[in-house]
Amino acid sequence: MDSQSLRATQAPLKEKYQTNPDAAVVRLRAEANGSTGIACKIDTGVAMVEAGLHPATGGDGSQACSGDMLLEALVACAGVTFQAVATAFEIDAQNLKVTAEGELDFRGTLGVDKEASVGFQNIRLNFDFSSNASQETTEKVIELTEKYCVVLQTIKQPPELTVTQQRLN
């Protein structure tokens, strides 16, 4: 898709959202269902994924790890956002590789150390690509990618989260 096609595709959406802000609010939903053993099955809309324990918590590595899936969601969103911004800037960015990595202290997850945090202690996001655009332009593309990447912004500024339960007896 080139910049004109992208603008043509997004223009009616932008106009609609300006005149009717409520139309811009879309509910996304994910669901996991129990599976055999300590696992859940997630329908991604493309394929079923079975998530289970990370080997550092007793898993055998045959199932997806939710921590990896979080990083995968981040690189997917950042990669698509980068490509959209680069397209809008009419930059020919090639050989794009987006990586995310971070450290977890599994003592917290396993309750071994009550002081150890549960979750990522840090996350690093990196973009490698080739481009003939100026350094200033590519820095602007990265800045806007960071600004408009939904997953990145959700991690940086967590939303209000409500946890509920319903017992099925």
Average pLDDT for 139-158: 97
| CATH class of the structural domain 66-158 | alpha beta
Residue 116: predicted pLDDT:
94
Report d(CA 66, CA 57) in Å as an integer: 12
Residue 169: predicted pLDDT:
82
What is the tens place of the pLDDT at every residue in 22-62? Answer: 999 998 888 888 888 889 999 888 999 999 999 999 999 99
Which two three-digit tokens encode residue 41? 């099955």
Map out the domains of the chain as residue ranges: 24-64, 66-158
